[in-house]
């Protein structure tokens, strides 16, 4: 069964931590299938926005959606309404665009609270 859980250490992610040594508190959330890590997302809360530095979804768009939504949800709980994807990998960015997390010409998700509530609004529009 798939679970998405925050990892409360950066053990196993030393290369990522080293690549982002300027980040005060790097958070890692993992996707787990039983005891197997099948994906992760790395991010930090930076005052008025969340920076997302990397994610590994194995090319699975559904897993990408779950990982990103987990971080956006936690950002909303902290009253953060913007996420900046500090990702250069075009394949990853393309999945983020397909999922409508970011527009074609940007790496920033604005109004994430509205986005997260978008499915709820769709439900009302189908009546």
User: Is there a contact between 78 and 46 (Cβ–Cβ < 8 Å)?
Assistant: no
| Domain 2-125 is found in CATH 1.10.10.60 | no
Give pTM, 2 decimals. Answer: 0.87
Q: Which of 1, 74, 72 is nearest to 38 (CA)?
A: 1
> What's the pLDDT tens digit per position in 53-107?
999 999 999 999 999 999 999 999 999 999 999 999 999 999 999 999 999 999 9
- Domain boundaries defined on the chain: 2-125
Q: How far apart are CA 23 and CA 10, in angstroms?
A: 13
Separation of alpha carbons 20 and 52, rounded Å: 11
């Amino acid at each position: 069964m798939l679970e998405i859980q925050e990892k409360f250490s950066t053990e196993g992610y030393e290369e990522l931590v080293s690549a982002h040594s300027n980040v005060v508190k790097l958070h890692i959330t993992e996707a787990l299938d039983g005891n197997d890590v099948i994906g992760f997302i790395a991010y930090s809360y930076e005052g008025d926005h969340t920076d997302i530095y990397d994610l590994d979804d194995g090319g699975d768009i559904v897993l990408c959606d779950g990982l990103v939504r987990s971080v956006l949800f936690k950002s909303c709980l902290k009253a953060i309404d913007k996420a900046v994807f500090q990702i250069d990998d075009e394949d990853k960015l393309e999945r983020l665009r397909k999922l409508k997390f970011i527009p074609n010409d940007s790496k920033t998700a604005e109004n994430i609270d509205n986005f997260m509530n978008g499915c709820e609004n769709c439900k009302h529009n189908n009546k």
